Amino acid sequence: MATPFFSTLLLSLIAIPTIGAGGTAPRSDILALKSSLAVEEYETSILRSQDGTFSCGLHSIYTGAFTFSIWYSDSLNKTVIWSANRGRPVSSRRSVVTLRKDGVMVLTDYDAAVVWQTEADLPNVQYAQLLDTGNLVLKNTSGAVVWQSFDSPTDTFLPTQQISSTAKIVSSTQLHVPGHYTFRFSDQSILSLMYDDTNVSDIYWPDPDYQYYENNRNLYNSTRMGSLDNSGEIFASDFAWHRPLAASDKGYGIKRRLTLDYDGNLRLYSLSNGSDSNRKWTVSWLAVSQPCMIHGLCGPYGICHYSPAPTCSCPPGYAMMNPGNWTQGCKPIVDTIGCGDGEHNMKFLRLPDTDFWGSDQQRINQVSWQHCRNVCLSDCTCKGFQYQEGNGTCYPKNFLFNGRSFPTPTVRTMYIKLPASVNVTNSLVPQSNVLNKEKHHLQCDRVSKTTREPVPDVVREDSKDEPKWFYFYGFIAAFFFIEVFFFTFAWFFVLRREFRSSQQLVAEEGYRVMTSHFRMYSYRELAKATEKFKHELGWGGSGISYKGTLDDAREVVVKRLDNVTRNKAEFQDELHVIARINHMNLTRIWGFCSDRSHRMLVLEYVENGSLANVLFSNKMLLEWNMRFNIALGVAKGLAYLHHECLEWVIHCNLKPENILLDQDLEPKITDFGFAKLLSRSGSNQNVSRARGTLGYIAPEWVTGLPITAKVDVYSYGVVLLELVSGTRILDFVVGLEEDVHVVLKKFVKMLSYRLDGEEPLWLAEFVDFRLDGDFNYLQAKELIKIAVSCLTEDRKRRPTMESVVESLLSVELADEN
């Protein structure tokens, strides 16, 4: 059966690599010049190493989101060991990996934007090959490797891969974006695990509480070279006495990987023997055997303890900042913990066998506890101090991070500063108790090896004041989570800050999120592009639109949005959702502006204005083929919005004014971003009824029934009738006393009666007279048939847009009659 994406499929079939010259059989481990791996064929269009161990191609991380990756072919769940574009997935349409003629391997997104590429000036590249080691290489005409994926690892080292002085692996979070943990040679040339974020960067392996030699490290070899070998031994130049670390199942013939996991622990995994279905990865060595030693696990002020499973808790007087997520740790239950007016306003709470590692303001040796307390009390930035009984060492701290409670008694005792007014008599002090079998407080998911944090449903709060033009509600796709929380939150607030502080690092880590095709514009840029808002356009729906030209010569429409009551952050959240919507029959949103009170959208400029302009004026005659093509294109666009788009969008205001035509008269639906986003459960019924346009709105709009995607189907039915007849349906009603729905109902009844009648003459009367009888009878009949079913009163009996597309495709090639 024909599908709406038939043509896309055809194209990608043509693009499938044809490898090998001179009649040799194609080799699945080689990608020749000018060939590519297309996302539409991601299940078959892959490279496979000669011994079959590794595969390489586009890998789906979420519905509709792909990375270019290498994975173990035979593990049950794809175990990805390398990704070119982690944190910047590409779309499930038209994305492609190509080895270009000039020897550059590029990954492009749906809009041909380059998301990743190899160096540009590699000489004489002849082909790409996936080796049995899991290394993807580019080879030149003499067979020498000129580029290799082993030089840019993601979160995994493989046997034989060099851990060079510059190599590093960075953990992936459970949302498939780079996390805060890295494994690399430190500035002291020590192979280390580190926690890195904007404010904190410290090493937690080898154990910072010990001297280098106690950790079997040699501070005096700066060679910086390491590797994992085929027998399961890890070597590094700084290992004292050249003594390697060994897997528990040391020996040859086992497939292994060394991965920095999302929880900050470095683990060596072995793939167990057995039949395909029960092969799994088992841990044969791990860097940190006590998870609470890993830094940053419980966030600021949080304390990691064993009860007996590793658990995060807040100290007394503190509460979890963001329930369900320990990244942000705890916050004091009182507003500020300063220094108070005098010593009676503050107290210190004793946490035995506990430490917050790092952030020491100073170290004072051999002082009394009283002295240490007074130092912290008199310093307003001091949040607490560690005191070591016995030798009297005092460490006042200005930031409490990396908190942990030791499972065995130590001399370390932590005293945290609290206002005297806070009553903590009944609070539990988080303490490690390896004997206690009962669960204690919240399970710290991020620490536990077995439980994985589920990606929570995100449900946004409906704001009380009804927004004027956007109606967004929570929805469930995990992708949304990425969207709003990573792309928006992280990009806008965290990454941009990081960008300033260390552009180098950001670029390295693949954080070039939100590529050039969607960006924020300043008011000045847009004023310049539109020559101070000079060229007003007559079309485009809500808000005044201006024509403009961007610096890169792209023609755009700048739409000024008045009455936007939403604040900047909400506005940006919403935009990032619609920015992902991409279909050839929907107008693209290139960017936005949210400068002071200005709220503007930057949209694709579409050549020929709106369908209303063309259809209802006598400027040009739309021939039948064009009309059919418009009907099909609009149906495809709506089907994409309703069924394929990740967020399930309802347009709510489809009419000829909102259908734009490009230079080839290909339709592009506009204004869809303003519609409501529904959760797939369809439970939300709170859409404002102010948006629709009389004549195009479905009856349930008026009667107050829940709004579903079927309102668009109804509007589409009206547009179809207008396309065929060339007149506004509303014009039928003018002068009549009756309600437009009632008239339309009678009209539809008449049409359906005639359709059943098999009497062809009425059709010629109904079709736009300007066509002068020059139309396809079968197609016209099908269009009216579809319109009639779309205009059914009972919304449940209206077809879906997908089935409309199928019906149209079935007559697309119908013979002229």
Q: Min. distance of Cβ 76 from ligand NAG in angstroms?
A: 5
Rg for the chain, CA atoms, rounded:
32
Which is nearer to ligand NAG, 95 or 149 (by Cβ)? Answer: 149
In the sheet that 96-99 helps form, which strands lie side by side, from edge to edge? 36-38, 96-99, 105-108, 114-117
Q: Taking the complex as a whole, how short is the minimal distance between the CB of residue 795 and ligand NAG, in angstroms?
A: 37
By beta-carbon proximity to ligand NAG, the closer residue of 2 and 144 is 144
Rounded to a whole number of angstroms, the minimum distance from the CB of residue 177 to ligand NAG is 8
To ligand NAG, the closest distance from the beta carbon of 289 in angstroms equals 20
Which CB atom, from 370 or from 391, has the smaller least distance to ligand NAG?
391
Q: How far is the CB of 341 from ligand NAG (least distance, A)?
A: 19
Closer residue to ligand NAG, CB minimum distance, 2 or 219: 219
Query: By the criterion CB under 6 A, which residues form the site for ligand NAG?
Result: 76-77, 123-124, 140-142, 144, 146, 174-175, 197-199, 221, 223, 225, 237, 242, 249, 251, 253-254, 270, 272-273, 325, 327-328, 365, 388, 390-391, 393, 411, 423, 425-426, 453, 485, 490
Least distance between ligand NAG and beta carbon 390 (Å): 5
CB nearer to ligand NAG: give 453 or 623: 453
Packing angle, helices 801-812 and 710-725, rounded to 10: 30
The answer to whether 397 touches 200, Cβ cutoff 8 Å, is no
Q: How does DSSP assign 250-302, residue by residue?
A: -SSS--EEEEE-TTS-EEEEEEPPS-GGG--EEEEEES-SSGGGSTTTT-TT-
Between residues 374 and 451, which has the closer beta carbon with respect to ligand NAG? 451
Burial of residue 606 (number of CB atoms within 10 Å: 0-12, 13-18, 19+): buried
Q: Which residues contact 253 (CB under 8 A, 6 or more apart)?
A: none
CB of 142 to ligand NAG, least distance (A): 4
Helices (H) and strands (E) in the chain, counts: 16, 45
CB of 146 to ligand NAG, least distance (A): 6
Q: How far apart are CA 247 and CA 464, in angstroms?
A: 59
Q: What are 735's two structure tokens?
A: 């002068």
**In the complex, minimum distance from the CB of residue 243 to ligand NAG, in angstroms, rounded to a whole number:** 10
**Any idea of the CA torsion for 599, 603, 608, 614, to the nearest 10 degrees?**
-50
Helix (H) or strand (E) holding 175: none
CB of 58: closest distance to ligand NAG in angstroms? 20
Question: Are the C-beta atoms of 755 and 784 separated by less than 8 Å?
Answer: yes
3 state SS of 599: strand
| Nearer residue to ligand NAG within complex by CB, 225 or 382 | 225
Strand order in the sheet with 125-130: 30-32, 125-130, 136-140, 145-148
Residue placing its CB nearer to ligand NAG in the complex, 365 or 617: 365
Q: Is the Cβ of residue 271 or residue 733 nearer to ligand NAG in the bound state?
A: 271
Q: What residues pair up with 661 in beta bridges, in sequence order?
A: 667
CB-nearer residue toward ligand NAG: 73 or 221: 221
Closest to ligand NAG by CB, 171 vs 725, is: 171
Residues, the chain, total? 817
Instruction: Evaluate whether 209 touches 412 at the Cβ level (below 8 Å).
Output: no
Give the SS3 label for residue 688.
Answer: coil
> Could you tell me if 590 and 518 are in contact, meaning their C-beta atoms sit under 8 angstroms apart?
yes
Among residues 138, 222, 140, 148, the alpha carbon closest in space to that of 186 is found at: 222
Nearer to ligand NAG, 390 or 735 (CB): 390
Among residues 110 and 489, whose Cβ is nearest to ligand NAG?
489
Give which of 155, 151, 88 is closest to 118, Cα–Cα: 151
Closest CB to ligand NAG among residues 227, 779: 227
- Supply the DSSP symbol for 427: P
Give dist(CA 147, CA 513) in Å, integer: 24
- Closer to ligand NAG by CB, 129 or 653: give it: 129
Minimum distance from CB of 440 to ligand NAG (Å)? 20
Q: How would you write 517-560 as a 3-class SS string?
A: CCEEECHHHHHHHCCCCCCEECCCCCCCEEEEECCCCCEEEEEE
Strand order in the sheet with 555-560: 519-521, 589-595, 598-604, 555-560, 545-549, 536-537
CB of 815 to ligand NAG, least distance (A): 49
The distance of closest approach from Cβ of residue 641 to ligand NAG in the complex, given in angstroms and rounded to an integer, is 28
User: For residues 243 and 535, which CB has a smaller minimum distance to ligand NAG in the complex?
Assistant: 243
Question: In whole angstroms, how close is the CB of 541 to ligand NAG at the nearest point?
Answer: 35
Q: Which residue's CB is nearer to ligand NAG, number 347 or number 636?
A: 347
Shortest Å distance, C-beta 489 to ligand NAG = 6
In angstroms, the CA 567 to CA 325 distance is: 25
Pairing state between β 318-320 and 393-397: unpaired
Please say which residue, 301 or 306, places its beta carbon nearer to ligand NAG: 301
Minimum distance from residue 276 beta carbon to ligand NAG (Å): 13
Q: How far is the CB of 358 from ligand NAG (least distance, A)?
A: 13
Instruction: Count CB-CB contacts under 10 A for residue 782.
Output: 19
CB of 80 to ligand NAG, least distance (A): 12
Where residue 671 falls (left for φ over 0; alpha for ψ -120 to 50; beta otherwise) is: left
Sheet with 354-356: strands ordered across: 310-313, 303-306, 403-405, 354-356
For 375-392, give one letter per residue: b (16+ CB within 10 A) or e: bbbebeebbbbbbbeeee
Omega before 308 within 30 of 0, i.e. cis: yes
